[in-house]
Amino acid sequence: MRSGSSAVEVKGLGGGTVRFLPLFLLLPAVAFILVMYIYPFALSIVRSFTDESGGLSLVNYYKAVSLYGRDILFSIQVAILGTLISTVLSLALASYIRLSDSRMARLINSLSRLGIFLPYVVVAQMMRSFLAPHGLLNVLLANMGLVDIDSPLQLFNIRGLTFGFLWKETPFITFIVLSGLQVIDDTYIEAARSVGARTRHIILRILLPMIKPTIAIAVVLTFCTIVSTFTLPYMIVAGNPTTVTVDIAHRVTYFGDYRVASALGVFLYLIVGVMAVYYLRRTVREEVYGY
List C-alpha distances in Å: 31 to 123, 230, 269.
33, 27, 22
161 close to 140: Cβ distance less than 8 angstroms: no
User: Higher pLDDT residue, 26 or 246?
Assistant: 246
Contacts for 268-271: CB closer than 8 Å, 24+ residues apart? 268/75, 268/227, 268/228, 268/244, 269/41, 269/45, 271/75, 271/76, 271/79, 271/227
The whole-number pLDDT of residue 291 equals 60
175 close to 112: Cβ distance less than 8 angstroms: yes
Tens digits of per-residue pLDDT, 204-251?
999 999 998 899 989 999 999 999 999 999 999 867 789 999 999 999
Who's near 9: CB < 8 A, 6+ residues apart?
none
DSSP classification of residue 113? T
Tens digits of per-residue pLDDT, 250-282?
999 999 999 999 999 999 999 998 888 888 887
The whole-number pLDDT of residue 74 equals 95
For 136, other C-beta atoms within 10 Å of its C-beta total 12
Task: State the average pLDDT for the chain.
Answer: 87
Every domain of the chain and the residues it spans: 1-48, 68-289
DSSP classification of residue 206? I
- Give the span between the Cα atoms of 10 and 2, in whole angstroms: 12
Provide the CATH number for the domain formed by 68-289 in this structure.
1.10.3720.10
